[in-house]
Amino acid sequence: MSKNGEACKRFHDNHSERTDLSDLKFKRLLSDNASSKLAVVEAEVEGSTDPAVVVINKLPFTQQDLTGILSGSTGVENEMQNDIYGQYWLKPDPNYNPVKANIIHPATQKHIEKYTSSPSHLVKETEDLYLGVTLPCILKEQFSLDWVYNILEKKQEQDRIIYENADPMDGFLMAPDFKWTGKQVEDLYVLAIVHRRGIKSLRDLNESHLPLLRNLETQGKLAIFKKYGLPVSKIRCYIHYQPSYYHLHVHFTALEYDAPGINCEKSHLLEEVISNLEQNSHYYQTAELTFAVNEKSNLYKAYKEIGYFQEREEENKSFLDLEFESGSCEKVLDFLQMIGKAKHEPSGEQWETTYGESSWRMAVLAMCLPETVNRQRLVQLALVSSLCSLGTCNDENTHWDQKSQEVKQILSDHLPPLVANKLFSLFQEHVDIRRGRLNGSKEHNCYRGILELEEILLRWEEECKGKGENVCTEAIINRMALLQFPGANRFKLCKEKTELENFLKFVMKISELMRLKRTGWVKCQVRDPETVAAHMFRMGILGIIYSHTPIRVEVDACIIGICHDMAECIIGDITPHCKVSVEDKAARELAAFQDLTRDLPETIALGLLVPFSRYENQEAGDFNAILTKDYDKFDMILQAFEYEKKEKRGPFLQQFFDSTMTCFQTQAVKKWQKSLLETRTAYFTNQTNV
């Protein structure tokens, strides 16, 4: 062992025998807080090259302390006097003037950065920002949790445990926080650490965690009352966001103690967390959470990298003038062409349906689930499942760890960090659910069910080929009932399956769009052209990508995109060459959509009809509808260029570029159009020269 290693070991082994701080030497002040009477210093350690971090805290006065100070053992030095007022410096017996210190050695650079004072900034974190910035950062940079697991496994600090519920799922243990001496309740500070692993923070909580959270609130407060006599009504319990470490833990402090981290941008009362989840299972997946982040932290740097703290001109621009990415957009267009192959490549060895078509149908199924689940998130998961088409191995024979790394690399190489991280977070969640790694939420259970239902549908469609629709649908009906699709309750109670059969008819009708070739490509004699469903798939992906803009687009554009051509399963793909007036086309599509959803419950029918109508109406100020219209036209010319390269017939689809030359309204898509046209011109110039 090296001399430095021996010094570190000796320092650690002597914690329990230490009587002074003679081996520590002040190096510099890292931070101080006058209100909490706390200072953090970096110290040098005799015989060691590793620094120590020392957290020094002046403890609150107790009645015993005050009695001892107001006695003959206290020396005084007069500072000033005026009439009846006198001011003195007191020199009390050290026994009545306690100062506590926590020592970290060997301290790493992360520890020093953690405790070093620096300016703080507020972040208003949306779901997109969490998936795209915060989550990737904390997964990469978080501290080791070994010390937490040592406590949970009783390898360390066993003598400090004051209460434990040993249930592995809904249990926890409690111990005094290091900030508290345990000598008085005035500054009581107790920490509860849950046994269940994998819950990083508030963002992971859903209704499946309610039994655990209720145990923490009721049993935790009762344990403190029994141990320390502090009434339940005088105990504050809360969860930090952002936490100092990413394993769920709850803070319990005396109500009248101004504990560190109880400020509104840091703490969330446990009672309110429970109430929010009782009302909305996915509250913390979609809520905007505000927190403070200091400039020394890696999380601040991650937000700064995407320009979050800049006073951007975009804040004052209209939505139509916003751009998707700064600088060149060539790599983004390359990615969109890469994802375009999901429109054409089969989703497995056993069926002809493509990744894009299957993803689109799963997204529509997600929209028809009960309102008690986060349907928008499920729609996104369904669409990003198509990223399985990227990389070297297909979905049928994939090694998931390899697939995840390939997808992550492709996304980071082609998209801005925020978008790349968000898409990868969604894709990794899809992979985890596909592999059976569910977190217990309704969303995970429902998405797993949708994946299984889609496989049943694909197999059923293969069996139906050449046999009509008389193949048994019992397995599909049963699966739909489990997922609570329309008619599930009636089927479970009295085996009445008319509503479920009506819903299946709807699914089978829209599934025709997975085989309906788009008219424009057919008329131009494109070989194996895309289907209507495949077109709506990429529009849905585009809708997810654009949802990070300052104006909250969320996934409205995505939902509109996957619904806008749905009526074509009844009336077909009507193009300008079909010599149908704009008014007649709109009337036919609306009537077809109404007929398509006639036998569906009103809430589901409206959930599909409203996005369709928004696309058709194109009302001023409906930015999501306007954006989707731009996506529709851009996807067409992007697909045209892909066909031109594939067919090797020169620029034979020029009419599509001519018809869209001046139709785009959003600056973001205009920028894409300009880049695509330049790329296309350069491509055919090179082809001519060759």
pLDDT band at 550 (very low <50, low <70, confident <90, very high): very low
Q: In terms of pLDDT, which residue wins out, 638 or 67?
A: 638
The token pair at 447 is: 């998405």
| Percent of the chain topping pLDDT 70 | 93
Computed from CA positions of residues 69, 73, 78, 84, in that sequence, does the dihedral angle turn out positive or negative? positive
Q: Can you tell me the distance from the alpha carbon of 148 to that of 144, in angstroms, rounded to the nearest whole number?
A: 9
> DSSP letter at 531?
B
Rounded to the nearest 5 degrees, what angle is found at the Cα of 115, between the Cα atoms of 113 and 117? 90
Residue 16 confidence (pLDDT): 63
Residues 382, 459 share a domain: yes
**Among candidate residues 55, 73, 104, the one where a domain is terminated:** 104
- The answer, yes or no, to whether residue 272 has pLDDT greater than 80, is yes
pLDDT digit string, tens, across residues 402-414 = 899 999 999 999 9
Q: What is the mean pLDDT of the chain?
A: 88
Note whether residue 251 is domain-resident. Answer: yes
The DSSP code for 132 is: I
Stretch 609-624: mean pLDDT: 91
Task: Return left, alpha or beta for 468; rule: phi > 0 is left, psi -120 to 50 is alpha, else beta.
Answer: left
Amino acid (one-letter) located at 344: H
Residue 449 confidence class, pLDDT cut points 50, 70, 90: very high
Of residues 426, 376, 405, 301, the one with CA closest to residue 552: 376
Rounded to an integer, what distance in angstroms lies between the CA atom of residue 127 and that of residue 387? 20
**38 and 153 part of one domain:** no
8 Å CB contact between 342 and 359: yes
What average pLDDT does this structure show over 432-439? 90
Question: For residues 404 and 431, what is the distance between their CA atoms, to the nearest angstrom?
Answer: 8
- For 572, other C-beta atoms within 10 Å of its C-beta total 14
> Burial, 634: exposed, middle or buried (Cβ in 10 Å; 0-12, 13-18, 19+)?
buried
pLDDT at 690 over 70: no
Residues in the chain: 690
Give mean pLDDT, residues 465-478: 74
**Residue 205 and residue 82 share a domain:** no
Strands 52-58 and 38-45: antiparallel
Report pLDDT for 313. 45
Helices (H), 517-621: 519-523, 532-545, 556-563, 568-571, 582-596, 602-617
Whether the pLDDT of residue 81 is over 90: the answer is no
Residue 355 placed within a domain: yes
The counts of H helices and E strands in the chain are 28, 14
pLDDT at 552 over 50: no
CATH of the domain at 622: 1.10.3210.10
Give yes or no: residues 296 and 330 share one domain: no
Are 440 and 492 in a shared domain?
yes
Question: Is 291 part of a structural domain of the chain?
Answer: yes
* Residue 115 lies inside a defined structural domain of this protein: no
- How far apart CA 427 and CA 504 sit, in angstroms, is 28
Residue 42 · residue 52 · CB < 8 Å: yes
Does 114 reside within a domain?
Answer: no
Q: How far apart are the first and last CA of the chain?
A: 68
Pick the closest to residue 205 from 274, 146, 111 (CA basis). 274
Would you say residue 310 lies in a domain? no
- Binned at pLDDT 50, 70 and 90, residue 19 comes out as confident
Domain boundary residue, one of 254, 276, 305: 305
Q: Are residues 576 and 536 in the same domain?
A: yes
CB atoms within 10 A of CB 311: 6
Q: What is the pTM of this model?
A: 0.78
Q: How far apart are CA 80 and CA 360, in angstroms?
A: 80
pLDDT band at 5 (very low <50, low <70, confident <90, very high): low
Check residue 593 and report its DSSP letter: H
Same domain, 136 and 8: no
pLDDT band per the 50, 70, 90 thresholds, residue 119: confident
- Residue-wise pLDDT for 120-176, tens only, equals 899 999 888 898 899 998 888 766 788 888 889 888 888 889 999 999 999 999 999
Q: Rounded CA gap, 196 and 178, in Å? A: 22
Q: How far apart are CA 574 and CA 590, in angstroms?
A: 13
Taking the C-alpha atoms of residue 23 and residue 113, their distance in angstroms, rounded to an integer, is 23
Q: What is the mean pLDDT of residues 372-382?
A: 92
Average of per-residue pLDDT across 373-389: 93
pLDDT tier for residue 551 given thresholds of 50, 70 and 90: very low
pLDDT value at 270 more than 90: yes
Give every CB contact of residue 118 below 8 A, 6+ residues apart in sequence: 294, 295, 296
How high is the pLDDT of residue 15?
64
CA distance 634 to 143: 45
Under 8 Å between Cβ of 107 and 50: yes
- 320 — pLDDT class (breaks 50, 70, 90): confident
In this structure, the answer to whether residues 290 and 386 fall within a common structural domain is no
> Nearest CA to 404 among 673, 30, 136?
136
For the chain, give percent helix, strand, coil, nearest 5: 55, 15, 35
The DSSP element (H or E) to which 120 belongs, if any, is: strand 120-125
> Is residue 12 predicted with pLDDT exceeding 70?
no
- Mean pLDDT computed over 206-228: 96
Alpha-carbon dihedral of residues 385, 437, 444, 424, nearest 10 degrees?
-40
- Report yes or no on 187 lying in a domain: yes
- Which range has the worst mean pLDDT, 174-178, 214-218, 573-577, 607-611? 573-577
Among candidate residues 252, 246, 209, the one with its CA nearest the CA of residue 232: 252
Least confident of 26-30, 233-237, 394-398, 539-543: 394-398
The total domain count for the chain is 3
Spell out the residues 6+ positions from residue 94 whose beta carbon is closer than 8 angstroms to its own. none
Residue range(s) defining the domain that contains residue 34 = 3-104
pLDDT band at 553 (very low <50, low <70, confident <90, very high): very low
Q: Which amino acid is at 386?
A: S
Please return the burial class of 14, using the count of CB atoms within 10 Å of its CB with bins 0-12, 13-18 and 19+. Answer: exposed
Q: What is the pLDDT of residues 245-269, one digit of tens each?
A: 999 999 999 999 888 889 999 999 9
Question: The dihedral of CA 463, 468, 474, 479: what is its sign?
Answer: positive
540/366 Cα distance (integer angstroms): 13
Q: What is the pLDDT of residues 293-307, one digit of tens each?
A: 988 888 999 998 888
Who contacts 558 (Cβ-Cβ below 8 Å, separation ≥6)? 379, 380, 383, 540, 541, 542, 543, 544, 547
- How sure is the predictor about 464, in pLDDT bands with cuts at 50, 70 and 90? confident
* Residue 104 CA to its chain's centroid (Å): 33
Residue where one domain finishes, among candidates 282, 305, 328: 305
Band of pLDDT at residue 277, cut at 50, 70 and 90 = very high
Give me the mean pLDDT over the 396-423 stretch: 87
Nearest alpha-carbon partner for 324 in 250, 238, 400, 420: 420
Instruction: Pick the closest to residue 539 from 564, 520, 567 (CA basis).
Output: 564
Q: Which CATH number is 82's domain given?
A: 3.30.200.40
Q: What is the mean pLDDT of residues 311-317?
A: 52
Give which of 121, 141, 119, 102 is closest to 31, Cα–Cα.
Answer: 119
Residues 391 and 536 in one domain: yes
In DSSP notation, 316-334 reads GS-GGG--SSSS--HHHHH
Packing angle of the helix pair 623-647, 556-563 (nearest 10 deg) = 60
> How far is Cα 580 from Cα 589, in angstroms, rounded to an integer?
12
pLDDT at 480 over 70: yes
Domain membership of residue 565 (yes or no) is yes
Do residues 667 and 575 make contact, with C-beta atoms less than 8 angstroms apart? no
Structure tokens at 494: 């009295």
Instruction: Please say if 249 is a catalytic residue.
Output: yes
Q: What is the pLDDT of residue 178?
A: 82
**CA 311/CA 500 separation, integer angstroms:** 53
Mean of pLDDT values over 455-467 = 82
Residues 161 and 193 in one domain: yes
Which has the higher per-residue pLDDT, 349 or 192? 192
The per-residue pLDDT for 469 is: 55
Amino acid 341 reads K
Say yes or no: 290 and 351 in one domain: no
Give the whole-angstrom CA distance, residue 173 versus residue 162: 8
Active-site residue, selected from the candidate residues 105, 240, 247, 249: 249
- C-alpha 334/C-alpha 411 separation (Å) is 11
* CA distances to 235, 353, 485 from 167, in Å: 24, 46, 34
Percent of the chain with pLDDT over 90: 55
Query: What average pLDDT does the segment 518-537 reach?
Result: 95
Pairing of strands 99-104, 120-125: unpaired
130 and 176 both lie in a single domain:
yes
pLDDT for res 261: 87
